[in-house]
Amino acid sequence: MTYQSNLLQHKTALVTGGTTGIGAAIAARLASLGASVTAAGLPAPAGTPEPPPGVRTVSLDVSNDDSVKAVVGAFERLDIVVNCAGVIRREAELDPAVFAQVIDINLTGTMRVCAAARERLGAAQGCIINTASMLSFFGGGLVPGYSASKGGVAQLTKSLAIAYAADGIRVNAIAPGWIATPLTQALQDDDGRSAAILERTPMKRWGTPAEVADVAVFLATPAAAFMTGAVVPVDGGYLTA
């Protein structure tokens, strides 16, 4: 095991977008280390496994201020916030209306949760882990909304790291590369596109949600006590190729 099983005992965590994909993997990993975890988001698709012990699920719409305040306000104590809620609409994002929706969920939604959680995180000297992307670093011609939102998440992470430091809150981000999740299933199933992705990736494979989760957990531990404002790629070397 990478971490001691009681590493996060007595810690309370909120994972937005925590019912599927990378968010679900992070929620499960935090719980496996003793944290009490709330996975908040839209209902998981039919056939999704039940959450593991230590993880409870609640409904959350990060584009709705009242929904965010209700979920965050239910916590007496909050040590860890992981922002994983996000959408991608591919070519439709070239429409300004769809572009705005993606920005509102991925970027402004992250800010809504951070702002709502600030007081409780400050009281606990807690931390925030946001979800950026390799598209925080370069563009995507078919996903302008997703790319812009994830670039914004990277800059928001750096800005809030400065703004929240006096409260004792660390703010970092993970930047996943090509990870095998439902969000990338269409690309995994496209032999040509998948081959091109693997050809550029030095490690020559898709990443797993569990591998991203371990890095997110590291940012929530005392081992990262002097880290804030960092955006950490988890991409098998894709960005360096």
Question: Over 80: is that where the pLDDT of 203 sits?
Answer: yes
Question: Over 80: is that where the pLDDT of 44 sits?
Answer: no
The one-character DSSP state at 105 is: I
pLDDT of residue 219: 98
Which two structure tokens, joined as six digits, stand for 86? 């996000």
Question: Over 90: is that where the pLDDT of 50 sits?
Answer: no
* Order of all β-strands in the sheet with 231-234: 55-59, 36-41, 12-16, 80-83, 127-131, 170-176, 231-234
Closest to 135 in 3D by CA, of 100, 101, 184: 184
The mean-pLDDT minimum among 45-54, 130-139, 191-200 falls in: 45-54
**Complete DSSP assignment for 165-220:** GGGT-EEEEEEE-SB-SGGGHHHHH-HHHHHHHHHHSTT-S-B-HHHHHHHHHHHT
Mean pLDDT, rounded, for 190-211: 95
Mean pLDDT of the chain: 95
Domain extent listing, the chain? 12-240
Under 8 Å between Cβ of 178 and 164: no
What's the CATH number for 12-240? 3.40.50.720
Percent over 70 (pLDDT), the chain = 100
Which two structure tokens, joined as six digits, stand for 225? 């006590």
Question: Over 80: is that where the pLDDT of 231 sits?
Answer: yes
Question: How far is 239 from 241, CA to CA, in rounded Å?
Answer: 6
**Who wins on pLDDT, 10 or 47?**
10
Question: How far is 147 from 135, CA to CA, in rounded Å?
Answer: 5
Question: Over 70: is that where the pLDDT of 1 sits?
Answer: no
Mean pLDDT, rounded, for 72-77: 97
Determine which one of 3, 146, 164, 238 is catalytic: 146
Question: Over 90: is that where the pLDDT of 68 sits?
Answer: yes
3 catalytic residue (yes or no): no
pTM: 0.95
Question: Over 90: is that where the pLDDT of 182 sits?
Answer: no
pLDDT of residue 47: 75
Q: Which residues pair with 80 in a beta bridge?
A: 13, 127
* Residues present in the chain in total: 241
